[in-house]
Amino acid sequence: MEPASAGKKTVCVTGAGGFIASWLVRQLLSGGGYAVHGTVRDPDDPKNDHLRALGGAGERLRLFEADVLDYTSVVAAVAGCDGVFHVASPVPASKSDNPEVELLAPAVAGTLNVLRACREAGVRRVIVVSSVGAVFINPNLPEGPAVDEGCWSDEDYCRTTENWYCLSKTMAEREAVSYAEKTGLDVVTVCPSLVFGPLLQPTVNTSSLFLIRYLNCAGGGNDAMDDKVRNMVDVRDLADALVLTYQNPEADGRYICSAYARKVSDVVSVVTSLHPNLNYPKKFVQVGDEKVFSSEKLQRLGWRFRTLEEMLKDTVESYVAAGILN
């Protein structure tokens, strides 16, 4: 009998156990479409156990032990793949003391290792997960209400403001674009805004901590919360966007992936209407709004997204089920 992965296209997802990558792996396995190579740094760490429980994982998910800084380990994971989703990159929850080592090296050298391995393995297309952090950290953004793919964060400004995460994403995406130009490798980059949604993984990732802080349940809701427009997207819609940009032959260049621009106080008020019994912040202080990101280019490719209400409902239910909110 043939193995269940026979005849299926094989794709690789780096950093498979993380928040976004777990949903992407789930999406790729569901419907039986793909065989997936998922890279994790430690396959024996229980924080990656949820991957083995995904539908189809037994037959079509192979975990590879790989650090993106270790070229040989990446080569083994991408061998035989038609496409690679490069998701792995550090997303720290607090300021780094050693950004060159903790952030910039894994983001930049890690991305180049993945791209080089893909080129040598003859991978057809690589989707690189960048961030709006590579788009809007720039004091000289063009005038106008919406920010689009023509905007880039200013590396010097990121350095002087010690915004190491956004610097790491900007440098990594620029390197990816330039590698694609030099070599002809088909690279598409996707720049998500702040990602919320239900958790598949057992740990709480950094962007989910933002929403948990907004809801401020553990703190009893007594402190004033900064209020501003934030751009957000559901992790499941982002996973759709990543698959769409991989599958659609017309996908090209850079795509902002952001669904809603809403004030933090509006987000809290939607959650309050769904779960009136939790403890929410009662006072808000208006601070500078974020500009609104345009995902028109991605929508033209066919991307659709769920409502803010559905995202928040499912997200908060997942937090309650995990005992994060009570």
Ligand X SMILES: NC(=O)c1ccc[n+]([C@@H]2O[C@H](COP(=O)([O-])OP(=O)(O)OC[C@H]3O[C@@H](n4cnc5c(N)ncnc54)[C@H](OP(=O)(O)O)[C@@H]3O)[C@@H](O)[C@H]2O)c1
| Segment interacting with ligand X, rule: CB under 6 A, options 16-24, 57-65, 266-274, 304-312 | 16-24
- Residue 19 in contact with ligand X, rule: CB under 6 A: yes
Q: Which residue number is nearest to ligand X in terms of Cβ?
A: 18
Task: Tell me how far apart the alpha carbons of residues 9 and 22 are, in angstroms, rounded to a whole number.
Answer: 19
Q: Which is nearer to ligand X, 8 or 87 (CB)?
A: 87
DSSP β-bridge partners for residue 63: 38
- Residue 10 in contact with ligand X, rule: CB under 6 A: no
Q: Which is nearer to ligand X, 56 or 90 (CB)?
A: 90
- Residue 151 in contact with ligand X, rule: CB under 6 A: no
- Binding residue (CB under 6 A) for ligand X from 56, 192, 198, 281: 192
| Segment interacting with ligand X, rule: CB under 6 A, options 27-35, 188-196, 288-296, 315-323 | 188-196
Q: Is residue 192 helix, strand or coil?
A: strand
- C-alpha angle with apex 35: 238 to 311, nearest 5 degrees? 20
Catalytic residues: 169
- Residue 315 in contact with ligand X, rule: CB under 6 A: no
Q: Which residues ranging from 205 to 244 are in contact with ligand X (CB under 6 A)?
A: 205, 207
Q: Which residues ranging from 98 to 117 are in contact with ligand X (CB under 6 A)?
A: 106, 110
Task: Tell me how far apart the alpha carbons of residues 82 and 258 are, in angstroms, rounded to a whole number.
Answer: 27
- Residues in contact with ligand X, total (CB under 6 A)? 25
Whole-Å CA distances, 21 to 36, 91, 243: 12, 13, 12
- Residue 198 in contact with ligand X, rule: CB under 6 A: no
- Binding residue (CB under 6 A) for ligand X from 8, 26, 37, 169: 169
Q: Which is nearer to ligand X, 217 or 235 (CB)?
A: 235
- Binding residue (CB under 6 A) for ligand X from 68, 176, 225, 243: 68
CB of residue 287 to ligand X, shortest distance in Å: 19
CB of residue 204 to ligand X, shortest distance in Å: 9
Position 270, amino acid: V
- Residue 20 in contact with ligand X, rule: CB under 6 A: yes
CA nearest 309: which of 265, 274, 257? Answer: 274
Q: What residue spans of the chain are helical by DSSP H? A: 19-29, 49-52, 57-60, 71-78, 99, 110-121, 155-160, 164-183, 206-215, 235-247, 264-274, 296-300, 308-321
Going by C-beta distance under 8 Å and a sequence separation of 6 or more, which residues neighbour residue 302? 244, 248
- Residue 91 in contact with ligand X, rule: CB under 6 A: yes
Task: Tell me how far apart the alpha carbons of residues 168 and 158 are, in angstroms, rounded to a whole number.
Answer: 9
Going by C-beta distance under 8 Å and a sequence separation of 6 or more, which residues neighbour residue 112? 175, 179
Tokens of 319: 């937090």
CB of residue 6 to ligand X, shortest distance in Å: 28
- Residue 41 in contact with ligand X, rule: CB under 6 A: yes
- Binding residue (CB under 6 A) for ligand X from 24, 88, 217, 242: 88
- Residue 129 in contact with ligand X, rule: CB under 6 A: yes
- For 32-85, give the DSSP string: G-EEEEEEES-TTSGGGHHHHTSTTHHHHEEEEE--TT-HHHHHHHHTT-SEEE
DSSP β-bridge partners for residue 147: 293
**Other Cβ atoms within 10 Å of 247 Cβ, number:** 14
- Residue 87 in contact with ligand X, rule: CB under 6 A: yes
Whole-Å CA distances, 142 to 53, 137, 251: 46, 12, 25
| Segment interacting with ligand X, rule: CB under 6 A, options 144-152, 191-199, 281-289, 301-309 | 191-199
- Binding residue (CB under 6 A) for ligand X from 10, 17, 51, 200: 17
Binding site for ligand X (CB under 6 A): 15, 17-21, 41, 67-69, 87-91, 106, 110, 129, 131, 169, 192, 194-195, 205, 207
